[in-house]
Structure 1
Amino acid sequence: MKPLPLQEILGVINGEIVYGDGNFIVKDAMVSHLHRIKMRNTLIFLRKNEAFHVRKVIRYSPYIIVTDKSDEEIKDIEAAGIIRVQNTDDAFWAFTRYYRQLFDLPIVAVTGTCGKTTTKEILSHLLSSTYSIQSTIRSRNATRKSFQYLMGIDENTDAAVFETGLRGPGNLHYHCKVFQPTIGIITTIGVDHLDKCKTLDGYIKAKSEIVAGVRKDGTLILNSEDEHTKKVSLSGFTGEIIYCGTSEEADYRASDIVYGRTGMSFTLHHKDKTYAMYIPGFGKHQIYNALFALAAAHKIGLTLRKAALRMRTFKNVERHLQVEKGKKASTIIDDTWSTNPTSIEAAIDVLESLGNDRKSALLLGNIAYLGDQEKNVYYELGKLIASKKIDTLIAVGKNTKYVAEQAKKDGFKGKVYTADSPARVKKYVENLLDEKTTLLIKGSMMDTELMGLARSLKEK
């Protein structure tokens, strides 16, 4: 955070000093979650209905409290100063808007069902060779993190790249209210978070919040081929829209995609020029992730020639379709970071592409956040798997049996093995592995047991 004198902040939040020094220099700010305070001279926004536990913050004294609590409620609070405001939430948002407006810099907000983390990581990597970047840590993209990331911007920051998570309606609106992004990216939209959004249309509507969230005259970067993204309403958006994909309509277009040993080469077309590109990782979805990042980096000011050189040194994100040597000279594709139907289809495409004449096996774990649509989603996945060239399907989890059942009904020709936990399939999978087998393990970071199984199958 850029250090600010308390006196300057008082005018912004319409606050009154109960006690304390107006010359106090604020070096960080936070709202709620007292256990996340990390430095001295922090401004803490404390709502009237929130408890204050001094033991959580005392070691970071001195700090200042901004609150709408009554005199009686604040009489025992220990702090270097207390600022009284009419409404803590109003004061928090006034401060947030003010702090963001101190910086005239590009901020990119990345959303989508799949590819958020990888797109964010590629873009941060491209820009970091030239610019000082503030970005989301790994995939820690919850709304409660947004304000902390904004506070990470200071006078030395040239640009910011933030991944925006979505559990339900209103989440993207919140992220954008904090970040006020100048560039918004929607990577792709598929079935996810139906527990909160209820239907696919509800989920698309929730993703569409980014359109209104991008600053006036900002830029939207969209997938030119994704059918669900095409349902996002762009009415009222007055900024620039950039499309990425493999179709002729794309402003940043990829062609001539060729698989190599550790990644893919492709030709980038932009306006009347072409550029030779190489991206570590596999799958058409990875090409799209690269295109989104290239378009954003170019918009911010990086030349495409420099971006092409920088792209070669990108390191693929761990457990994102990570291809590694497995036991008994097998090949393991570890995709245990997150899971949903869209990413499963992308992962299977990679399995087919890398499998060639090898035996292929898919170990599929549970999918979270599907609500009462879980069975329907699993049945659709079963139909998809039945149409693919997979030799063995291993369905692991409480309800993944529905995937296996539907696959068999739809004519799946391979072997099928089901179990309720990874521990029950370990021996079966180990016996399956040999030098001619490629195994895709598809799950999420919430399934720690499945992640452990994936680790145990890799060559030490």
Structure 2
Amino acid sequence: MKPLPLKELIGVMNGEVVYGDENFVVKDAMVSHLHRIKEKHTLIFLKKRKAFHSDKVKRYSPYVIVTDKSDEEMKDIEAAGMIRVQDADDAFWAFTRYYRQLFELPIVAVTGTCGKTTTKEMLSHLLSSTHSIQSTIRSRNATRKSFQYLMRIDENTDAAVFETGLNGPGNLHYHCKVFQPTIGIITTIGVDHLDKCRTLNGYIKAKSEIVSGVRKGGTLILNSEDENTKKISLTGFTGDIIYCGTSESADYRASDIVYKKNGMSFTLHHKEKTYRTYLPGYGEHQIYNALFALAAAHKIGLNLKKAVIRLRAFENLERHLQVEEGINASVIIDDTWSSNPTSVAAAIQVLETLGNNKKNALLLGDIAYLGSHVREIYHDLGKLIASTKIDILIAVGENTKHLADQAKKYGFKGKVFTTASTALVKEYVENLLDEKTILLVKGSMMDTELIGLAKSFKMKE
């Protein structure tokens, strides 16, 4: 955070000093019930009806509290200063708006069912050679994290790239209210978080919050082929819209995609110019992620030819379709970072491409956040798997047996193994792995047992 004198902020928050030195220098800010204090000289927003635990912040004294609690409620709480406000929530947002407007810099907000983390990391990689960057740590993209990321921006920051997660309606509105992004990216919209959004249309509507969240005069970067993205209303958006994809209408278009060792090559088309490009990692969806990153970097001011060259040095992310040597000379594709129907389909496409002339095996764990739509979605995935060249389906979890049953119903010709036991899966898979087998392990970061299994199938270094 850029250090600010308290006296500069009192009026911003429409507050009055109860006690303390107005020359106190604020070096960080937090909301008491959402964040952990990290350093001294922190401004703490304490909301009415929220408890305050002095023992958790004592060692970071001095700090100043901004609160709408009464004198009686605050009488036993020690601080270097106290600012009384009418409404602590209003004061928090006034401070957030003020701090954001101190910096005229590009802020990119990335959302989508799949590809958020990779697109964010690719764009950060492209910009980092010429810009001082702030970005989301790994996939820690919850709404409560947004304010903390904003506080990491200071006078030395040139640009920021933030992943904006969604668990339900209102989440993207919150992220954008904090970040006020100048560029918004929607990678793709599949099926996810139906436990909170209830329906696919509800999920699409929640994703569309980013449209109104981009700053006036800002830019939207969209997938030119994604059918669900096309359902989002752009009425009222007055900024630039950039489309990325493989269709002729795309502003940044990819063609001639070729799988190579450890990655893919493709031709990038933009404004009648072409650039032959190499991208580490596999999958057509990765091409889209690269297009989003290249388009955003170019919009921010990076020379496109230099961006294409720098893309070659991007390191594919851990457990994102990570291809490694497995035991008994097999090949393991570890895709245990996140799981939803869209990413399952994309991963299977990679398995079939890399597994040409090999025995293809899929080890699939349960998919979370599907709400009451579990059986319907597993039905559709079973039908999809039946149409593939997969030789062995290994379904692990409470709901995946239904998926396996549907695959067989629709004519899946391969072997099927279903169990809830991780130990049984390990033994079964270890017996089938050999030099002719390629195994895709597909699950989410919450399924620690499946992550452990994937690791156990790899050759030890």
TM-score normalised per structure 1? 0.99
Q: Give, in angstroms, the shift of residue 33 of structure 1.
A: 3.6
Q: Which residue pairs with 1:27 in the alignment?
A: 27
Q: Which amino acid aligns with 1:85?
A: V
Q: Give, in angstroms, the shift of residue 55 of structure 1.
A: 1.1
**Distance in 1 between the 2:34 and 2:18 partners?**
21
**Distance in 1 between the 2:243 and 2:33 partners?**
39
TM-score normalised per structure 2? 0.99
Q: Which amino acid aligns with 1:298?
A: H
Q: Which amino acid aligns with 2:251?
A: D
What does residue range 103-252 of structure 1 map to in structure 2 within 5 Å? Answer: 103-252=103-252
SS of equivalent residue, structure 1 residue 257: strand
Q: Which residue pairs with 2:448 in the alignment?
A: 448
Is the contact made by 2:35 and 2:144 (CA closer than 8 Å) also made in structure 1?
no
Q: Give, in angstroms, the shift of residue 34 of structure 1.
A: 6.6
Q: Give, in angstroms, the shift of residue 35 of structure 1.
A: 5.9
Structure 2 portions without partners, runs of 5+: none
What does residue range 419-434 of structure 1 map to in structure 2 within 5 Å? Answer: 419-434=419-434
Q: Which amino acid aligns with 1:436?
A: K
Is the contact made by 2:32 and 2:52 (CA closer than 8 Å) also made in structure 1?
no
Q: Give, in angstroms, the shift of residue 36 of structure 1.
A: 1.3
In structure 2, the CA distance between the partners of 1:255 and 1:34, relative to structure 1 (3 Å rule), is closer
Is the contact made by 1:35 and 1:57 (CA closer than 8 Å) also made in structure 2?
no
SS of equivalent residue, structure 1 residue 425: helix
Is the contact made by 1:319 and 1:335 (CA closer than 8 Å) also made in structure 2?
yes
**Distance in 2 between the 1:243 and 1:207 partners?**
17
What does residue range 49-448 of structure 1 map to in structure 2 within 5 Å? Answer: 49-448=49-448
Q: Give, in angstroms, the shift of residue 48 of structure 1.
A: 1.2
Aligned length: 460
SS of equivalent residue, structure 1 residue 274: strand
Q: Does 1:12 align with 2:8?
A: no
Q: Give, in angstroms, the shift of residue 338 of structure 1.
A: 0.4
% identical equivalent positions: 80
Structure 1 portions without partners, runs of 5+: none
Is the contact made by 2:33 and 2:50 (CA closer than 8 Å) also made in structure 1?
no
SS of equivalent residue, structure 1 residue 293: helix
In structure 2, the CA distance between the partners of 1:12 and 1:185, relative to structure 1 (3 Å rule), is same
The more displaced of 28-37 and 314-323 is 28-37
In structure 2, the CA distance between the partners of 1:10 and 1:57, relative to structure 1 (3 Å rule), is same
Q: Give, in angstroms, the shift of residue 424 of structure 1.
A: 2.2
Q: Which amino acid aligns with 1:248?
A: E
RMSD: 0.7
**Distance in 1 between the 2:78 and 2:328 partners?**
62
Cα deviation digits, residues 301-345 of structure 1 (max 9, x gap): 001111011101110110000000100010000000000000000
Cα deviation digits, residues 325-380 of structure 1 (max 9, x gap): 10001000000000000000000000000001000000000000001100111010
The more displaced of 29-38 and 125-134 is 29-38
**Distance in 1 between the 2:285 and 2:248 partners?**
17
SS of equivalent residue, structure 1 residue 131: coil
**Distance in 2 between the 1:81 and 1:52 partners?**
15
SS of equivalent residue, structure 2 residue 374: helix
In structure 2, the CA distance between the partners of 1:216 and 1:34, relative to structure 1 (3 Å rule), is closer
Q: Which amino acid aligns with 2:395?
A: A
Cα deviation digits, residues 276-306 of structure 1 (max 9, x gap): 1111100000000000000000000001111
**Distance in 1 between the 2:70 and 2:296 partners?**
48
SS of equivalent residue, structure 2 residue 237: coil
Is the contact made by 1:329 and 1:435 (CA closer than 8 Å) also made in structure 2?
yes
**Distance in 2 between the 1:401 and 1:339 partners?**
17
Is the contact made by 2:264 and 2:281 (CA closer than 8 Å) also made in structure 1?
yes
**Distance in 1 between the 2:91 and 2:42 partners?**
15
Q: Which amino acid aligns with 1:430?
A: E
**Distance in 2 between the 1:111 and 1:149 partners?**
16
SS of equivalent residue, structure 1 residue 264: strand
Q: Which amino acid aligns with 1:268?
A: L
Cα deviation digits, residues 1-49 of structure 1 (max 9, x gap): 0000000000100111111000000000011347611110000000011
Q: Which amino acid aligns with 2:166?
A: L
Q: Which amino acid aligns with 1:12?
A: V
**Distance in 2 between the 1:254 and 1:457 partners?**
35
SS of equivalent residue, structure 2 residue 64: strand
The more displaced of 421-430 and 44-53 is 421-430
Q: Which amino acid aligns with 1:314?
A: F
In structure 2, the CA distance between the partners of 1:35 and 1:102, relative to structure 1 (3 Å rule), is closer
Is the contact made by 1:35 and 1:56 (CA closer than 8 Å) also made in structure 2?
no
Is the contact made by 1:19 and 1:82 (CA closer than 8 Å) also made in structure 2?
yes
Q: Give, in angstroms, the shift of residue 423 of structure 1.
A: 2.2
In structure 2, the CA distance between the partners of 1:50 and 1:420, relative to structure 1 (3 Å rule), is same
Q: Which amino acid aligns with 2:196?
A: K
**Distance in 1 between the 2:304 and 2:172 partners?**
30
Cα deviation digits, residues 377-406 of structure 1 (max 9, x gap): 101000000000000000000110011000
**Distance in 1 between the 2:83 and 2:421 partners?**
53
SS of equivalent residue, structure 2 residue 145: helix
SS of equivalent residue, structure 2 residue 11: helix
Q: Give, in angstroms, the shift of residue 78 of structure 1.
A: 1.1
